[in-house]
Structure 1
């Protein structure tokens, strides 16, 4: 929006912003929405931490959707894993490996939810069979608290699945070129 190079210094950014702000300001006949976007861009580029994150990822931590940032953080871990992989680049497909890892994590999370739901059902059955003391229902209170904790764990795991799905979606459109020799070796097997 400012028309500056990616590696522009602070003075260049400030000068470009002032020039663009004069033309875009609503008092000068500019569009208020466009001016607000221009200000957001300038604020992003002024902050070295936000700018670094934006340059590295294409996302601004303050303006991006929280769901995107969570998916991005998950992908960051997977990228670190394949960077540290000792195999020669081109000898394996890190994008496919990331997709497999995310798919496996979804399956594990869904299984975890099933386990939690079974535990919660058992707790509820115990509650139904538990005779209550007339004054203080200590055991009933404990079981109800346990049921609420399990429900919260289910909710947390469901949110985790959404994050994993977002990370998986962010991988759409990527492919990885394997070395020709490696492809032939796999075809022969």
Structure 2
């Protein structure tokens, strides 16, 4: 997650006047009209807007998250995690009777294994298609079969890239669960005794 305080160059306790002053200083050097980088200026502007909005700032301070400042991998990881949180909320078992954090970790691990297996299968299939391509003789004129097989290889390559991106999002979601634990009811009773 991108830290808006670091981007604007202020402490967490900075008041609105301090934020505005720091923003103006940074904006002068980062503004595209003055030779600055458009992407860095946009990030500065987004961070500034967050720090001026008391509700967004409070949410960021409490959670360390703001959708506008999340990078693509963080957003994808959060979407994966949100699905799992929804599953936990819909689980009919009593809170404290099971460990939802461990269940989420297991589910994410299973999804990673499944996606990696799927990638291996696609790579095996692409290898078979390439092997066929190497063995098919071309006829004169339009190479219809060659075009079809190359297209198939390209499609498989795209699917592999997409699956690798999904693994990256799942791994990010898994890392977001680091440091969390859950106390089960029986553990509370044992601690009380």
Quickly name the TM-score band, shorter chain normalised.
0.7 to 0.9
- Cα distance in 2 for partners of 1:121, 1:77 equals 34
Describe the SS at the equivalent of 2:69.
Answer: coil
Query: Residues 50 and 61 of structure 1 are in contact (CA less than 8 Å); yes or no, is this contact kept in structure 2?
Result: no
Please name the residue that 2:123 is paired with. Answer: 117
What does 1:20-59 correspond to in 2, within 5 Å? 20-22=19-21, 26=25, 40-45=46-51, 54=60, 57-59=63-65
Cα deviation, residue 59, structure 1: 1.7
Query: Residues 61 and 69 of structure 1 are in contact (CA less than 8 Å); yes or no, is this contact kept in structure 2?
Result: yes
- Cα distance in 1 for partners of 2:20, 2:54 equals 21
Match of 1:103 among 104, 109, 112: 109
Cα deviation, residue 55, structure 1: 7.2
Please name the residue that 2:17 is paired with. Answer: 18
Query: Residues 67 and 163 of structure 1 are in contact (CA less than 8 Å); yes or no, is this contact kept in structure 2?
Result: yes
- In structure 1, the gaps of 5 or more residues are 5-15, 185-189
CA RMSD between the two structures? 3.3
1:68 is aligned to 2:67: no
TM-score (norm 1): 0.74
Q: 1:96 to 1:131 in 2, by over 3 A?
A: same
Cα deviation, residue 52, structure 1: 9.0
Query: Residues 91 and 182 of structure 1 are in contact (CA less than 8 Å); yes or no, is this contact kept in structure 2?
Result: no
Cα deviation, residue 42, structure 1: 3.9
Query: Residues 2 and 17 of structure 1 are in contact (CA less than 8 Å); yes or no, is this contact kept in structure 2?
Result: no
What does 1:159-170 correspond to in 2, within 5 Å? 159-170=165-176
Cα deviation, residue 58, structure 1: 2.8
- Cα distance in 2 for partners of 1:77, 1:24 equals 36
- Cα distance in 1 for partners of 2:127, 2:22 equals 64
Q: 1:156 to 1:53 in 2, by over 3 A?
A: farther
Query: Residues 16 and 52 of structure 2 are in contact (CA less than 8 Å); yes or no, is this contact kept in structure 1?
Result: no
What does 1:118-157 correspond to in 2, within 5 Å? 118-157=124-163
- Cα distance in 1 for partners of 2:73, 2:96 equals 31
Cα deviation, residue 156, structure 1: 1.1
Q: Compare 40-49 and 85-94 and name the one that shifted more.
A: 40-49
How many residues align? The count is 167
Q: 1:57 to 1:80 in 2, by over 3 A?
A: farther
TM-score (norm 2): 0.72
Cα deviation, residue 61, structure 1: 2.2
Query: Residues 17 and 42 of structure 1 are in contact (CA less than 8 Å); yes or no, is this contact kept in structure 2?
Result: no
